[in-house]
Structure 1
């Protein structure tokens, strides 16, 4: 590298300390652009954001699997079976699309195919360059544990980040060929995966780490109970519709799980989700005692929280039945049992 090029490079990487209010001189920031494809997608028991746990460790019964989109996947996984846990690095693809990003995606879309050509498969193009995200949509956020108070984006685990990358520590259940099966997941079904890294306590755990006091704030929900109607609906749905992921067993399993074990597994997962307060701050404060619900696997769960902090599961139906009921309610203008997105 010549002296002139070296000086130019050094000038490029100098930190920019000049601000005009909150606005940085964007034209002085080095132009690095990162383009990548997912290494795979995770399939989980959470079809929607609402109801998915805020951290995978809070719902150890939850399950999912990742199928690598790579050749020689078995070589990439070689040795990973010796670890018990793994870091999953992923993209928050369900974040609301901002107007600037939407505009970029429209203005930079590919030319339409000829009328005689088959349409190209849908491809999501997530653009989070400094131009598209400025000014940022989220600088301060309200973590659920803070009950409406704000902290900066980087003082929280919010999905709504300048570059929406998430990380979750999951338990490795097994590896079969190009697919890794996990428990303790918090990702929505179909989430793009960026990377996998083994969890190493020697490097990843810090017993003396400091955290703010609000991290230990307790949930408003103290206990969870199931009504007789909910138990009947759960058993009927599992018997007639079945489970998509929560019944997942190793390929070489001879016995499999019994019907009662599947029912108990779903009850445990519902309890794990509710006891850790999946409601938004708005719902906790403004619609405290209204019934509400969420989805798990093939199931729709309706519940309600009383003033004493008891969450009662009122009913369980399969997702298709629920969607049909909702469409009828919307048609008659009699809507209930709201579904909301959980926002950290």
Structure 2
């Protein structure tokens, strides 16, 4: 069977079987492009890419939601049955605001302009602009999923949703005898208690075989302060102070802005409000100057003082 096997592309092109190829470079590409259907859309407070957190954990207090597409399922809420029993979920999505990036190297913000291979980073600028985020599930309301942890812009298309399972998703040290472990339960039949036990019993082995480069772990957070005007505006607008702190302490500026325009005034939109702050790069401080409500005049959003 293996010697006579042909993929669908080979069959349609009347190509010889795989085993008859002496050089795999002559094999036809079975499929260069893949068409995927989006299952829903993510609604967040970030209407623009500016100041969107680089990781979901950097904005753990900001709540967002996924609205499932009723064209995929007539009753989208049926596809979510059982998901409420998990605390965290993986979200796979499409960077719809980014063009396809065909450069093999990118410059992560933490490297200060130094370039590394794109596949050694989580940069959103990729040959296949697909994002992956681990978020905390808040609640499910019919066909809508509410979650904490946001690093997506508003309107991001969702490709898939998967539950986070520590038994499978947390790296652990592989012992030789593990290759002869008992049969795993089929998908969908895992026991919650066994998952908890596995995640607990292997906690001592989590760090032994997990490594990351120093530029990832050596992350310095900024000190975020608010002046009296901003403090008063936060109370008037009922804006959560800690959400703004989480965004700014990780320094959302690009390498270009940080190096060319150091210690500058920086503004970004957060939902219905505009936040204005000033960076002090020498002392690693960012001071929030004001928080204003955005007023829509026609098609042009402006702050309420303009």
TM bracket (short chain) = 0.7 to 0.9
Asked if 1:315 is matched to 2:293, the reply is: no
Could you give the per-residue CA deviations for residues 93-124 of structure 1, whole angstroms, max 9, x where no partner exists? Answer: 011x4xxxxxxxxxxxxxxxxxxxxxxxxxxx
> Is 2:294–2:303's contact at 8 Å kept on the other side of the alignment?
no
Show the counterpart of 2:302.
324
| TM, length-normalised to structure 1 | 0.68
Give the corresponding residue for 1:295.
269
Change (3 A) 1:288 1:79: same
C-alpha offsets along residues 70-102 of structure 1, whole Å, 9 cap, x if unaligned?
Answer: 22222211111110000000000011x4xxxxx
Task: Flag structure 1 segments of 5+ consecutive residues without an equivalent.
Answer: 18-24, 98-127, 129-135, 239-261, 329-344
> Do the aligned partners of 1:68 and 1:178 also contact (CA within 8 Å) in 2?
yes
Aligned to 1:156: 121
Query: 2:16 matched to which residue of 1?
Result: 8
Q: RMSD across aligned C-alpha pairs, in angstroms?
A: 2.8
Distance 1:232 1:140, change over 3 A: same
> SS of the residue aligned with 2:295?
helix
Aligned with 1:169 (options 118, 127, 134): 134
Contact 1:171 1:183 (C-alpha < 8 Å) held by counterparts:
yes
- Deviation, 1:232, is 2.6
Aligned match of 1:197: 162
Moved more, 315-324 or 295-304: 315-324
Query: Equivalences for 1:1-344 in 2 at 5 Å?
Result: 3=4, 5=6, 8-10=16-18, 28-69=28-69, 70-95=73-98, 97=99, 137-206=102-171, 207=206, 208-219=209-220, 221-236=221-236, 238=237, 262-263=238-239, 266-306=240-280, 307-320=282-295, 323-324=301-302
Query: Does the aligned pair in 2 maintain the 1:226–1:312 contact within 8 Å?
Result: yes
- C-alpha displacement of 1:296: 1.0
Secondary structure of 1:284's match? helix
Distance 1:38 1:74 in 2: 16
Deviation of residue 184 (structure 1)?
Answer: 0.7
Question: 2:200 matched to which residue of 1?
Answer: none
C-alpha change, 1:182 and 1:9, in structure 2 (3 Å) is: farther
Q: Which has the higher contact order (CA 8 A, sep 6+)?
A: 1
**Partner Cα separation in structure 1 for residue 103 and residue 295 of structure 2:** 35
2:231 and 2:104 mapped to 1: Cα distance? 43
SS of the equivalent of 2:93 reads strand
Q: Which structure's residues are more often strand, by fraction?
A: 2
Question: What displacement does 1:305 show?
Answer: 1.4
Q: Distance in 2 between matches of 1:198 and 1:213?
A: 30
Distance (whole Å) between structure 2 residues aligned to residue 93 and residue 75 of structure 1: 27
Q: CA deviation at 1:11?
A: 6.6
State the distance in 2 between where 1:13 and 1:312 align.
65
Give the match's secondary structure for 2:77: helix
* Separation in 2, partners of 1:144, 1:201: 29
1:209 shift after superposition: 1.5
Number of aligned positions between the proteins: 255
Asked if the contact 1:12–1:29 (Cα under 8 Å) also holds between the matched residues in 2, the reply is no
1:45 partner SS = coil
CA gap 1:89/1:4 in 2 versus in 1, 3 angstroms:
closer
Distance 1:274 1:195, change over 3 A: same
- Preserved CA contact (<8 Å) 1:12 1:30: no
Cα distance between partner residues in 2 of 1:210 and 1:74 = 39
Please give the TM-score of this superposition, normalised by the length of structure 2.
0.76
